[in-house]
Amino acid sequence: NAGVTQTPKFQVLKTGQSMTLQCAQDMNHEYMSWYRQDPGMGLRLIHYSVGAGITDQGEVPNGYNVSRSTTEDFPLRLLSAAPSQTSVYFCASSLRASSYNEQFFGPGTRLTVL
């Protein structure tokens, strides 16, 4: 198993540009989520999905869209990038959104918005 994979590893955008961060898992996990990690703020939940076709907002959803058309993929879209979205983005997955399930994280995408 490749686990949780993310592409790209690094990205530089200009303010106002849009892009999609890709996340995929091959463990047949129902639950997937996106976090951003910022110095002094720790990791914060952006969006999550408990299964294909179901998504919900986390703590900091503004400026981001998600969709979940398949179990394997959970892309994160930046609609109009802003410097405040400069961060490291992590995708995570677990078997289900339950207290019994360990969460697994991808390697991250480091995004810089100029």
Instruction: Give residues in contact with other proteins (CB under 8 A).
Output: 4, 31, 33, 35, 40, 42-45, 48, 50, 56, 58-59, 90, 92, 94, 97-108, 110
Nearest distance from C-beta of residue 66 to other proteins, angstroms: 14
Q: Which residues contact 4 (CB under 8 A, 6 or more apart)?
A: 23, 24, 25, 27, 91, 92, 93, 104, 105, 106
By beta-carbon proximity to other proteins, the closer residue of 14 and 42 is 42
Name the nearest CA neighbour of 21 among 51, 47, 58, 50: 47
Provide Rg for the chain, Cα atoms.
13
Name the nearest CA neighbour of 31 among 49, 5, 54: 49
By beta-carbon proximity to other proteins, the closer residue of 14 and 100 is 100
Nearest distance from C-beta of residue 13 to other proteins, angstroms: 20
Nearest distance from C-beta of residue 16 to other proteins, angstroms: 28
By beta-carbon proximity to other proteins, the closer residue of 57 and 80 is 57
Maximum Cα–Cα distance for the chain, whole Å?
Answer: 41
Nearest distance from C-beta of residue 82 to other proteins, angstroms: 23
